[in-house]
């Protein structure tokens, strides 16, 4: 690096890591599936991974889930095999002092568990959904929910010294695998630092626009980025900005990403789900969900989205039924009560709405001031004595 762009090695690697993890999460002692030559039979790989039963892998996934639920993300991080996340083999590390230094420097900052936790309003919104094997290699899929987004994360598992480890992370939002991004960033960084720093500057510019909710400017900057400056994180950045900016632009970006990754069926299923949330009918959404379940597993969250689409079509009865299904499966899922409340108020069903608030207040201890602000379109309701008494009785 020249004098004008010089940064310390620690800062250099920390920037790489921060960009990759934050970008993904809006993901011999190395990924053993990749260590086998293509000519080797899947049966040999299967035999290797059959050292552990399906139940053991599922138990491992549930422990990862629990580490987020109890807000102990460090336990999550302890199972990550860092060289695998950068596509570094044992042979790579033995021959390259630079790669060994990179892993050593990055390790203190590698905190995917905490990055996941920071995305959640409620730790329980991180949920284990599915175990499966692909070409003999075990995978576990998790759901990450926020009020503005539902994402799914597919972790590849490996084995090191008779222990299960995490060797890669694929994120459905824009279809990105950590190892793909990390290896690209690594070689870009060591071979062309000026280009890498230019990307850092671009990301910081876009982040500033997003923070100020100036999505139009962010979008206009991104669509004029030349192809040679686009990296693996570009589609996700563009999708995130377009989704906040304009529905039609969002659809254009979805179609762009599908063309960029024509063979990623899981990504296509996820994007179709996102598309039908905005543009689809309830039947189209149901079809998209059934297809997405093949890749991410069963999840009560899908009934929440069915309820929202029915609500948008003013089919309040169907919407209520889906919200109730979510509540039945997960009584602690706050947003199901919240959307059901709005659904009832849209129908002027004040008595039922009061019952929902009473349940919410007992289960979650909600703030009167906060809920009143959220219900500002229903001032007569929030001004009523019955509404105020719910909070007085809880004091």
Is the same domain home to 285 and 340? yes
Long-range contacts of 96-104 (CB under 8 A, 24+ apart): 98/190, 101/9, 102/13, 102/186
- Are both 156 and 227 inside the same structural domain? no
148 shares a domain with 236: no
Q: Residue 316 — φ and ψ, nearest 5°?
A: -70, -30
Output the domain CATH number for residue 63: 3.10.450
Q: Are residues 286 and 360 in the same domain?
A: yes
Give me the percent of the chain exceeding a pLDDT of 90.
Answer: 54
Segment 27-40 mean pLDDT: 31
Q: 16 and 107 in one domain?
A: yes
Picking from 168, 190, 212, the residue at the C-terminal end of a domain is 190
Which residues fall within 8 angstroms of residue 27, CB to CB, at 6 or more apart? 20, 21, 112, 153, 169, 170, 171, 176, 177, 178, 181
- Mean of pLDDT values over 141-154: 92
Distance CA 339, CA 247 (A): 22
Question: Same domain, yes or no, for 147 and 13?
Answer: yes
Q: What percent of the chain is predicted at pLDDT more than 70?
A: 82
pLDDT higher than 90, residue 15: no
C-beta contacts of 129-133 below 8 A and 24+ residues apart: 129/296, 129/297, 129/298, 129/299, 130/296, 130/297, 130/298, 131/54, 131/57, 131/58, 131/61, 133/46, 133/49
Look at residue 69 and tell me if it is in a domain. yes
Average pLDDT of the chain?
84
* pLDDT of 24 higher than 90: no
254 has pLDDT over 60: yes
> pLDDT higher for 78 or 179?
78
Could you tell me if 233 and 159 lie in one domain? no
Check whether 21 has a pLDDT greater than 80. no
Highest mean pLDDT among 26-30, 181-185, 225-229, 391-395: 225-229
Q: CA–CA separation, 76 vs 84, rounded Å?
A: 16
In the prediction, which pLDDT does 395 show?
60
Q: Is the pLDDT of residue 3 over 60?
A: no
Map tokens 């008779």 to a residue: 162
- pLDDT for position 199: 74
Question: Does the pLDDT value for residue 297 go beyond 70?
Answer: yes
The residue among 173, 190, 207 that closes a domain is: 190
Predicted local confidence at residue 40, as pLDDT: 44
Say if 199 falls within a structural domain: no
CATH number at residue 242: 1.25.40.10
Instruction: Based on the fold, state whether residues 153 and 239 are members of the same structural domain.
Output: no
Query: What contacts 341, CB < 8 A, 6 or more positions away?
Result: 353, 356, 357, 360, 375
Q: Is there a domain that residue 1 lies in?
A: no
Q: What is the pLDDT of residues 166-176, one digit of tens each?
A: 999 999 987 88
Is residue 304 domain-shared with residue 385, that is, in the same domain? yes
Q: What is the mean pLDDT of residues 182-198?
A: 67
- pLDDT above 90 (res 101): no
Domains identified in the chain, total number: 2
Enter the tokens of residue 283.
């039947």
The residue range of the domain holding 125 is 9-190
The answer on 185 and 71 residing in a single domain is yes
One domain for residues 296 and 168: no
Q: What's the Rg (C-alpha) of the chain?
A: 23
Do residues 126 and 247 both lie within one domain? Answer: no
User: Mean pLDDT lowest for which of 236-245, 266-275, 278-287, 320-329?
Assistant: 236-245
């Amino acid at each position: 690096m020249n004098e004008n762009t010089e940064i310390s090695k620690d800062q250099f690697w920390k920037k790489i890591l921060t960009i990759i993890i934050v970008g993904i999460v809006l993901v011999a002692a190395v990924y053993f599936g990749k260590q086998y030559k293509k000519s080797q039979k899947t049966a040999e790989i299967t035999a290797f991974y059959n050292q552990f039963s399906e139940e053991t892998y599922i138990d491992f996934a549930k422990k990862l889930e629990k580490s987020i639920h109890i807000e102990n993300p460090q336990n999550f991080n302890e199972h990550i095999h860092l060289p695998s996340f950068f596509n570094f083999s044992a042979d790579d590390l033995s021959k390259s002092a630079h790669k060994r230094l990179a892993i050593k420097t990055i390790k203190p900052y590698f905190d995917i568990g905490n990055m996941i936790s920071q995305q959640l309003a409620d730790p329980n919104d991180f949920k284990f959904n599915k175990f499966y094997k692909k070409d003999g290699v075990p995978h576990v899929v998790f759901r990450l929910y926020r009020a503005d987004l539902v994402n799914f994360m597919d972790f590849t598992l490996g084995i090191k010294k008779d222990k299960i480890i995490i060797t890669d992370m694929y994120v459905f939002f824009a279809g990105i695998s950590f190892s793909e991004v990390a290896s690209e960033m690594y070689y870009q960084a060591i071979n062309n630092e000026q280009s890498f720093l230019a990307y850092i500057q671009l990301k910081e510019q876009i982040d500033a626009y997003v923070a100020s909710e100036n999505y139009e400017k962010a979008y206009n900057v991104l669509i004029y980025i030349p192809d040679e400056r686009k990296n693996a994180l570009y589609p996700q950045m563009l999708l995130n900005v377009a989704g906040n900016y304009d529905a039609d632009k969002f659809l254009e970006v979805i179609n762009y990403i599908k063309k960029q990754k024509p063979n990623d069926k899981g990504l296509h299923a996820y994007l179709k789900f996102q598309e039908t949330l905005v543009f689809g009918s309830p039947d189209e959404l149901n079809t998209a969900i059934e297809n997405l379940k093949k890749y991410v597993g069963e999840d009560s969250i899908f009934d929440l989205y069915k309820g929202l689409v029915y609500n948008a079509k003013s089919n309040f009865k169907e919407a209520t039924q889906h919200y109730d299904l979510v509540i039945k499966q997960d009584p602690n899922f706050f947003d199901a009560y919240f959307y059901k409340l709005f659904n009832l108020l849209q129908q002027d069903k004040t008595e039922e709405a009061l019952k929902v608030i009473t349940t919410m207040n007992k289960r979650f201890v909600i703030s009167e001031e906060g809920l009143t602000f959220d219900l500002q379109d229903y001032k007569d309701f929030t001004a009523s004595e019955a509404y105020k008494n719910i909070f007085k009785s809880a004091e």
